[in-house]
Amino acid sequence: MRLSFWGVRGSIPSPHPDTRRYGGHTPALELRAANQVVLLDAGTGLAPLGQKLHAEPLIPGLTAHLFFSHYHWDHVQGLPHFAPLSAAGNKFTVYGPAPQGTPGGLPGIVDTLLGVPFTSPQSGARSGLDFEEIAPDSEISLGELRVCARRANHPGGALAYRFEHDGSVLVYAPDHEPGNAELDLGLRQLARGAQLLVCDAQLLPAEQSPGSGHGTWESAVALAGDAGVRNLVLFHHAPERSDHALDQITLSARRLFPRTWAAHEGMHFDLAADTVHLWECRGRDAQRMPVPLPVLVESGQHTAPLRHEARLHNLSFHGAYFVSPLQYDLDDRLELVLDLETGGDAYGDPTLSSLRLQGQVMRVEPLTTNGGWVGVGVRFVEPRRTDAAALPGSDKATDA
Ligand SMILES: [Zn+2]
């Protein structure tokens, strides 16, 4: 299974300089599993996901399954802007809970979202749409992909979903307020043994109040621990939560549940029966300078520091990108060491300066052209410093 995040924010879209790193789009996820294309919720992140899918050369067309957790604005607002809907050869099956107080049911909800006055009149072709309302505790099969649903505790009702294929398990619980014993038990059962749990963590513990419909990072950690999941992704971030605040929340959660991640746009997880791999495509903003030089990489997460040679690709004020035969995890801390030959010391002999750049892994991606190597993007976390060192074999440094 491959899971990709296109929208991670709750309630309303939140474009702002302070939310740029994690992203401001509301929930939309893409799951590729068992030769199926599955879309989870239709928040504003569905628009860029649609652009990507629209560009894929699929013949005769795209066949995909869209699962709504519920129909609050943050989970439906991207649907009218989902470009593949306007292609005649595409086919979608739309799933979701039976909506409360809507006589037309799920088809009526979608018709309303795609009609006047909420959006411009549709002209031209339209994809084929089928609908299937999902009852809580039900199971369906999409080929070899098995899907189970459970009720979550959210105003107006919502579902959480479990996807299983070939021994790997993903659970998606985007909107859930803990505190209802029956529904909490249902979610623990749904999440049991999952490799990856994507869970509502919108609120800080101090912000929690009965009826909010949302959980906290602490309740997400508790669910992950109780259900024996292997990796937790904090999701549905509050619109006002800054990138810095989400960094701090991630650190707090990791003290209790080390394999915790905060969802951000561009994050991918590859799930297999015995492994979960993270990929990252979050870019650096500053201008990059090509610097094709050998670089020594020291990783500090091991008891004995691991050093290996890699190849620096580019450098900016905020970070670097290098290619490496070794694998890294998102958020690993490391140090890049560049040996620079300078013009010469007071005696006219060349000296070496070692430029040490401390950073945090923000992006890991496989390289198709270099078997087994990965490209690694690093964000610098401390000011750069330069340590002067004598050239090997030179005694001039002490000859003062
Ligand atoms: Zn929501």
How close is the Cα of 2 to the center of ligand 1, in Å? 22
* Mean pLDDT split into 10-residue runs, the chain, 400 residues: 97 94 96 95 97 78 94 97 89 95 91 88 75 95 97 96 96 97 98 97 95 97 97 97 91 90 92 79 64 87 76 87 87 86 70 83 74 84 47 32
How close is the Cα of 72 to the center of ligand 1, in Å? 6
Q: Tell me if 24 sits within 8 A of 15, measured CB to CB.
A: yes
In terms of DSSP H, where are the helices of the chain? 46-55, 73-76, 105-113, 181-191, 217-227, 243-256
CA distance 121 to 1: 37
∠ CA 337-341-347 to the nearest 5 degrees?
135
DSSP string for residues in 94-134: EEEPPPTT-TTHHHHHHHHHTSTTTSPPP-S---EEEEEE-
Give me the sheet containing 232-235, strands edge to edge: 139-142, 145-152, 158-165, 168-173, 196-200, 232-235, 260-262
- pTM for the structure as a whole: 0.76
On the CB side of 17, how many CA atoms lie within 13 Å of its CA? 1
How close is the Cα of 248 to the center of ligand 1, in Å? 22
pLDDT at 192: 98
How close is the Cα of 194 to the center of ligand 1, in Å? 22
On the CB side of 1, how many CA atoms lie within 13 Å of its CA? 30
What is the distance between the terminal CA atoms of the chain, rounded to a whole angstrom? 63
How close is the Cα of 289 to the center of ligand 1, in Å? 40
Single out the residue of 69, 67, 77 nearest to residue 43, CA to CA: 77
Domain boundaries, the chain: 2-280, 289-398
Tokens in use for 245? 């605040």
Single out the residue of 276, 190, 174 nearest to residue 234, CA to CA: 174
Sign of CA dihedral 39, 196, 274, 326: positive
The yes or no reply on domain 289-398 and CATH 3.30.56.10 is: no
How close is the Cα of 67 to the center of ligand 1, in Å? 14
Query: What is the CATH code for 2-280?
Result: 3.60.15.10
Single out the residue of 81, 89, 76 nearest to residue 128, CA to CA: 89
pLDDT at 281: 55
Tokens in use for 235? 């999701």
Rg value, the chain, Cα: 24
How close is the Cα of 238 to the center of ligand 1, in Å? 10
Q: Are strands 145-152 and 139-142 parallel, antiparallel or unpaired?
A: antiparallel
Q: 162: which strand partners?
A: 148, 171
How close is the Cα of 175 to the center of ligand 1, in Å? 6
How close is the Cα of 346 to the center of ligand 1, in Å? 65
pLDDT at 400: 26
